[in-house]
Amino acid sequence: MNTTLINTVKSSFLNKFEAEPVLIFSPGRINIIGEHTDYNDGFVFPAAVNKGIVAAIQKSESAESVAFAVDKNESITFDLNNLKPSTKGSWQNYILGVISEIQKRHHTIGNFNIAFGGDIPGGAGMSSSAALENSVVFGLNTVFDLGLSKHDMILISQKAEHNYVGVNCGIMDQYASMFGIENHALLLDCRTVEATPFKIDFKDYELLLINTNVKHSLSDSAYNDRRSVCESVSELLNIKALRDATVTDLNTVKTKITPENYQKALFIIEENNRAIAASKAMKADDLVTLGELIYASHDGLKNQYKVSCEELDFLVSETKANPNILGARMMGGGFGGCTINLIAKSEVDTFKDHIAEAYKTKFEKECSIYEVKLSDGTHIINELKQ
Residues that bind ligand GLA (CB under 6 A): 35-36, 38-39, 127, 169-170, 172-173, 332-333
Residues recorded for the chain: 386
Whole-number Å distance between alpha carbons of 47 and 68: 28
Which residues contact residue 266 at a Cβ distance below 8 angstroms, ignoring those fewer than 6 apart?
247, 250, 304
> What is residue 30's three-state secondary structure?
strand
Cα–Cα distance for residue pair 338/302, rounded to 1 Å: 14
| Choice between 125 and 139, CB closer to ligand GLA | 125
Sequence-distant (6+) residues with CB within 8 A of 29 are 46, 47, 48, 49, 126, 127, 130, 131, 172, 173, 176, 177, 180
What is the H or E stretch that residue 371 is in?
strand 368-371
Inter-residue contact 125 to 11 (CB < 8 Å) = no
Contacts of 89 (CB under 8 A, 6+ apart): 74, 76
User: What secondary structure letter does DSSP report for 57?
Assistant: E
Active-site residue, 173 included: yes
Cα–Cα distance, 277 to 95 (Å, whole number): 37
The residues near 238 (Cβ < 8 Å, ≥ 6 apart) are none
Judge whether 5 and 52 are in contact, CB under 8 Å.
no
Residue of 125, 27, 119 whose CA lies nearest to 337 = 125
- Pick the catalytic residue: 152, 173, 204, 313? 173
Residues forming the active site: 173
